[in-house]
Chain A
């Protein structure tokens, strides 16, 4: 019987023949196998974790003046009900996102569905639509008197059931967040050693049983990592839930910011931090501690693609459905707005500079964020200890907070500590880093889990220092994870709004800013033009990254494969 745990057993046991780096082990740093992390790794991870905790520090300072007002506020606002509603939404969105994303990932990586490449790219793109745009298009289509009702009115349908509330909020959030799971699971599927699945098949397991007993457990870290992002995003979302009239904890906080009760808003945000920590602990339970890399010597082939036969059209339809609802229909609504506005002589605005700025700052954010996440990921995977886990977890908190909170905390930081950086592009990039470190950490982490530490140990036993091993062996091997993580940060940054508005250098125009600006005063044609440019600009790098190394070498077990792929 073949299980993940057994498959990984040899790797865990592999011990540290080459690692006699130190004899002194402090208790907080006690790793499961007694290795001691190099100082530069600890120092850089600590710096990253501290930076990521700036928002929490700010919230403590800001709510210190709140007195007991916030306790009254918590009683008054029937917080228990709102927290319950928030958790309900999180659970629903997370479960449905996983249920959508895992099959889509498998079908686009491992099967021969028609239009596979197009669908691979398109299925990621709903991620790039800002939540208020997605929500507005959803309302336009499916609301009681929306476009669909208009189509059906000939059939005597005068009103559709309510889209508002839990149902609509779930729909909008699933569409925007399933790509997180999709991207991480797809990465894991591509790097997975097919030998395990083949062994299961050879032992007489059917394809479904193999998927359940071997593939799915191997995907566990990727699913857990992606789900955590989904859950935290849902916790932090404001635009989507506000427009769909579902009150969550974050929308309550945002109301207080709108009403300029910032002390109360800060105190309630601290409670949000506690919810985020609970989610992090929950993910810790599902993650497990198995090993996911190959434990024996030899090269890994890429997986054979499964021929679905006539079912492949069904497969394409299954991938096509979320693409239709999450991308094609919203883009259709945007085109409708654009055409309608142009027919009514609405003016558009030049978008070249915002597009260039968005592209540039998002690329910069992606590079910087991945570089910052790397030491944390290596520490967390290779030197597992209480401290490394603490560092890793602390960087997730920013992702669960509303963007406004993170942005204001950096205004506070910029004005009081880092004044030269304030209102510079670096402060903006810093904010994106604090917000999106977790998005790059997940793929890096699961990529690293699939690399056997023995390769590093071999290099070390051949005389390379730990420092050099990390640069010459570990980093090149996690490049696919770095690219996937960078891509996610890039896409998220392209659409980020609150921090972009608050921290951009004055006069620095971005696409997301232009979309918001036009939408806030009902300039629909302008909104649509900017949102369509956003989809196009984000689509190109997404296509490149998705199709990269994704060519048609199905079933070829070859010797010409690149090292980076061969040793995954």
Chain B
């Protein structure tokens, strides 16, 4: 009887020691990695699935090792705020300017050659971040229930009662907030509030984010949804052309088809600013822009790359003329959304 106790104990002690040894080995190897001179630490709110091949290209071209901490833009920004000046990160590659704005105090000013390589509307007026690729706001619609001709010219018309029960949206989504901020710029507070009240009165179905909204438009759970344009192309890539939803870029030049960006900034405290700049320049170079255009179905931000044939040309989208720097008042938008009861 005593033997089996001893055995159990022995086994568990061995397992523990073994685990500790391996862990020590793992942490040692990772320490060696970080002490190299030519390496870069990226906090990325963009997913590995989307950008890992691009980062591998950069590593191959430059010989620089890139380590990436992937996460959601919101929690990553919260992490960066906790880390403050002690952050190990050199750059923050964010899904939207909101995340970059939240950590703006930690960011360094970017050199003008980087800033100049994108149009003025796609960069921070304070020069702390720069857009890397464009994405349009669109109305995704179910093709079994609607054709593009059934859709109104302006996003404003979806607030009319005839759309009651037919709409889906993700009221916590940062890109939606950016669109509403653009509405406040273009239309003013009252008109935007009217629109929001109209939408809320139409009892839209609420989704957690863009992906389930597009899925719901595809299945016919909703007829239209307010989303970013590129998710649809992911669905078509996975499910084939039969996926029953398409994007509609509003015909009227209104905030319904405003173009937003994913963006990047580098940290003031980074010891690696030159490498960081090389990385940012790479993203804005021909090969970087070509990658976004071809692989992630986004709009290139300069003439270095060919636009994706699946997408309309940026020039053809009737978009409002808004600088993203004008869209910094996200807090005001959140207040407005709370006021109409769309946000807690």
**Of B77, B88, B220, B344, most A-chain CB atoms within 10 Å:** B344
Beta-carbon contacts under 8 Å, A68-84 to B: 76-78, 82
Give the segment of B22-30, B130-138, B178-186, B299-307 that binds chain A. B22-30
A sample of 29 inter-chain contacts (CB < 8 A) reads A78-B344, A136-B212, A140-B215, A164-B205, A243-B212, A245-B205, A247-B344, A255-B172, A260-B77, A340-B240, A344-B240, A346-B237, A349-B49, A364-B19, A367-B15, A408-B78, A425-B27, A426-B27, A429-B23, A476-B8, A479-B8, A482-B12, A505-B27, A514-B48, A517-B70, A521-B47, A522-B214, A526-B49, A563-B1
Smallest beta-carbon distance A147→chain B, Å: 9
Q: Known contacts A255-B172, A262-B81, A521-B49: does B68 contact A507 (CB below 8 Å)?
A: yes
Smallest beta-carbon distance A518→chain B, Å: 5
- Whether A210 sits at the interface, judged by CB under 8 Å, is no
Residue in chain A with minimal CB distance to B233: A522
Q: For the complex, give the distance between the alpha carbons of A429 and B23 in Å.
A: 10
Chain A positions within 8 Å of B72 at CB level: 258, 501, 520
Residue in chain A with minimal CB distance to B103: A260
- Whether A34 sits at the interface, judged by CB under 8 Å, is no
- Whether B4 sits at the interface, judged by CB under 8 Å, is yes
Beta-carbon contacts under 8 Å, B41-67 to A: 41, 47-50, 67
- Whether A11 sits at the interface, judged by CB under 8 Å, is no
- Whether B84 sits at the interface, judged by CB under 8 Å, is yes
Chain A positions within 8 Å of B111 at CB level: none
Q: Which of B26, B70, B86, B338 contacts A76 (CB 8 A)?
A: B338
Q: Known contacts A363-B19, A408-B78: does B47 contact A252 (CB below 8 Å)?
A: no
Given contacts A145-B216, A259-B330, A476-B8, 11 further A-B contacts (CB under 8 A): A76-B338, A82-B344, A243-B212, A257-B78, A260-B98, A426-B23, A426-B27, A507-B68, A523-B234, A526-B49, A566-B1
Q: Known contacts A255-B344, A257-B78, A502-B75: does B208 contact A242 (CB below 8 Å)?
A: yes
- Whether A63 sits at the interface, judged by CB under 8 Å, is no
**Of A262, A479, A513, A521, most B-chain CB atoms within 10 Å:** A521
- Whether B37 sits at the interface, judged by CB under 8 Å, is no
Residue in chain B with minimal CB distance to A265: B78
Contact in complex: B27, A411 (CB < 8 Å): no
Contact in complex: A145, B102 (CB < 8 Å): no
Residue in chain A with minimal CB distance to B218: A145
Contact in complex: B234, A521 (CB < 8 Å): yes
Contact in complex: A262, B238 (CB < 8 Å): no
Smallest beta-carbon distance A40→chain B, Å: 18
Contact in complex: B4, A404 (CB < 8 Å): no
Contact with B along A398-439 (1 / 0, CB 8 A): 000000100110011001000100011110010000000000
Smallest beta-carbon distance B139→chain A, Å: 18
Contact in complex: B79, A563 (CB < 8 Å): no
- Whether A143 sits at the interface, judged by CB under 8 Å, is yes
Q: Which of B88, B99, B235 contacts A506 (CB 8 A)?
A: B88
Contact in complex: B49, A257 (CB < 8 Å): no
Chain B positions within 8 Å of A498 at CB level: 75
Contact in complex: B83, A262 (CB < 8 Å): no
Q: For the complex, give the distance between the alpha carbons of A252 and B172 in Å.
A: 10
Smallest beta-carbon distance A69→chain B, Å: 12
Beta-carbon contacts under 8 Å, A135-161 to B: 136, 139-140, 143-146
Q: Which of B50, B208, B344 contacts A521 (CB 8 A)?
A: B50
Contact with B along A520-540 (1 / 0, CB 8 A): 111111100000000000000
- Whether A284 sits at the interface, judged by CB under 8 Å, is no
Q: Which of B8, B49, B50, B74 contacts A260 (CB 8 A)?
A: B74
Beta-carbon contacts under 8 Å, A234-268 to B: 242-243, 245, 247, 252, 255, 257-260, 262
Contact in complex: A520, B211 (CB < 8 Å): yes
Contact in complex: B4, A562 (CB < 8 Å): yes
Give me the 4 closest cross-chain CB pairs, A-B, nearest first: A563-B1, A476-B5, A145-B219, A522-B234
- Whether B198 sits at the interface, judged by CB under 8 Å, is no
Q: Known contacts A245-B207, A506-B88: does B1 contact A143 (CB below 8 Å)?
A: no
Contact in complex: B47, A517 (CB < 8 Å): yes
Q: Which of A243, A507, A517 contacts B67 (CB 8 A)?
A: A507
- Whether B71 sits at the interface, judged by CB under 8 Å, is yes
Contact in complex: B338, A260 (CB < 8 Å): no
- Whether B82 sits at the interface, judged by CB under 8 Å, is yes
Contact in complex: B27, A344 (CB < 8 Å): no
- Whether A381 sits at the interface, judged by CB under 8 Å, is no
Q: Which of B82, B177, B234, B235 contacts A415 (CB 8 A)?
A: B82
Query: Which A residues have a C-beta under 8 Å from some C-beta of B?
Result: 76-78, 82, 136, 139-140, 143-146, 164, 242-243, 245, 247, 252, 255, 257-260, 262, 337, 340-341, 343-344, 346, 349, 360, 363-364, 367, 371, 404, 407-408, 411-412, 415, 419, 423-426, 429, 472, 475-476, 479, 482, 498, 501-502, 504-508, 513-514, 517-526, 562-564, 566
Smallest beta-carbon distance B286→chain A, Å: 24
- Whether B231 sits at the interface, judged by CB under 8 Å, is yes
Q: For the complex, give the distance between the alpha carbons of A514 and B214 in Å.
A: 22
Q: Which of B81, B99, B238 contacts A344 (CB 8 A)?
A: B238
Smallest beta-carbon distance A471→chain B, Å: 8
Contact in complex: B174, A258 (CB < 8 Å): yes
- Whether B334 sits at the interface, judged by CB under 8 Å, is yes
Chain B positions within 8 Å of A341 at CB level: 238
Contact in complex: A523, B238 (CB < 8 Å): yes
Q: For the complex, give the distance between the alpha carbons of A48 and B16 in Å.
A: 18
- Whether B316 sits at the interface, judged by CB under 8 Å, is no
Smallest beta-carbon distance A306→chain B, Å: 29
Contact in complex: A344, B16 (CB < 8 Å): no
Chain A positions within 8 Å of B99 at CB level: 260
Contact in complex: A404, B68 (CB < 8 Å): no
Contact in complex: A506, B68 (CB < 8 Å): yes
Q: Which of B16, B235, B239 contacts A367 (CB 8 A)?
A: B16
Smallest beta-carbon distance B90→chain A, Å: 11
Q: For the complex, give the distance between the alpha carbons of A521 and B237 in Å.
A: 12
- Whether B317 sits at the interface, judged by CB under 8 Å, is no
Chain A positions within 8 Å of B330 at CB level: 259
Q: Which of B49, B75, B214 contacts A518 (CB 8 A)?
A: B49
Q: For the complex, give the distance between the alpha carbons of A404 and B33 in Å.
A: 27
Beta-carbon contacts under 8 Å, B214-254 to A: 214-216, 219-221, 231, 234-235, 237-240
Contact in complex: A344, B239 (CB < 8 Å): yes
Contact in complex: B220, A145 (CB < 8 Å): yes
Chain A positions within 8 Å of B313 at CB level: none
Q: Known contacts A257-B78, A408-B78, A498-B75: does B211 contact A522 (CB below 8 Å)?
A: yes
Residue in chain B with minimal CB distance to A567: B1
Chain B positions within 8 Å of A337 at CB level: 238
Q: Known contacts A425-B23, A562-B4: does B67 contact A506 (CB below 8 Å)?
A: yes
Contact in complex: A506, B219 (CB < 8 Å): no
**Of B5, B33, B41, B78, most A-chain CB atoms within 10 Å:** B78
Contact in complex: A145, B239 (CB < 8 Å): no
